[in-house]
Each structure stands twice: as C-alpha cells, then as structure tokens.
Amino acid sequence: MKRAVFPGSFDPITLGHEDIILRGLPLFDEIVIAVGKNSEKKYMFSEAQRIGFLKSVFKEHSKIRITTYSGLTTDFCKKIEADFILRGLRNPADFEFEKAIAHTNRTLSGIETLFFLTAAKTSYISSSIVRDVIRNGGDYSSLVPKNLSLR
C-alpha cells in the first residue's frame, strides 16, 4: 500500500492545504492527515476543533484518514508504515526550509518527501493569515474550504 503522511497543525485548514491533499490523492492508496501536537505552540483552535474541521472537509474521501501524533514525523511514518511525506510549497522560503527537513528525514529514516507547488490562486494563503483575518473580524471565507465555519 502506498501511504503518505501530510503533517501540519492545520490551525486552521486553508484552501492551500485542501488543494495539496486532493492533488495527492491519485498518487496514493491512502493519505493520512496528521495533526501534530506541539506544546510550545499557542493554537487558536483546539485539537478537537481542528480534527473536526478536517473531517468535515474530507468526509467524502475514503482514501483520507485523519489522526494526531506527537514527536518526530518520521517516527510516526514508521509506526503507520508510510513511506512518503507530502508537503506543499508556497514560495522559495518554504522550499529552503522544507528541503533541509526532507534531506534530514531521508538520511535518518529513508522516508521520501514529495513536494507539490501550491496553486497560484492559493499560494498567498497561510494559516497565520487566516487567523489574523479572524482575529480582526474579517471575512475569511475565500481562504478556507467551502462551508467551513471557524467562529
């Protein structure tokens, strides 16, 4: 079985995340959306809310599984027998950051990282931008998957 892990905090999920996951579906038998636990991070949404958002967005997709994990992503991949990590790249800064992590992951574990360039129409969207729009009472609906209510 070809299984990929798409890790992140998804605080909240954006159109960019959704695009990468849906474009990855034809390549894998299963994509595991893995919500990372990081005690150092201050989240806007609880873990339960983030899981709920993801389940709502991907409820029609039987090849997608949603779960949480803590620790190294590669250890989680080994635990669930995933040979690939799926990541999205919005800009050159993302590439440089993700490249270093991908090289380290492959060196330490043999797990390959596949990069998808975000669609031009979503390349400017980040979870931090969405959170800022929400904090300031703005209309975030064009930044997140359809019918997703975050308030």
pTM above 0.85, yes or no: yes
Q: What per-residue string of b and e applies to 114-128 under the rule 16 or more CB within 10 Å gives b?
A: eebebeeebbebbbe
Active-site annotation holds for 90:
yes
Q: Dump pLDDT digits (tens) for 60-81.
A: 999 999 999 999 999 999 999 9
d(CA 145, CA 133): 15
Q: Write out the residue range of the structural domain in which residue 118 sits.
A: 3-135
Among 23, 63, 78, 90, the active-site one is 90
Q: Dump pLDDT digits (tens) for 88-115.
A: 999 888 899 999 999 999 999 999 999 9
Q: Do the domain assignments include residue 142?
A: no
Among 39, 41, 42, 146, the active-site one is 41
Active-site annotation holds for 126:
no
Active-site annotation holds for 62:
no
Active-site annotation holds for 17:
yes
Number of domains in the chain: 1
Q: Dump pLDDT digits (tens) for 6-53.
A: 999 999 999 999 999 999 999 999 999 999 998 788 999 999 999 999
Q: What is the CATH number of the domain that holds 80?
A: 3.40.50.620
For residues 150 and 132, the answer to whether their CB atoms sit within 8 Å is no
Q: Do the domain assignments include residue 150?
A: no
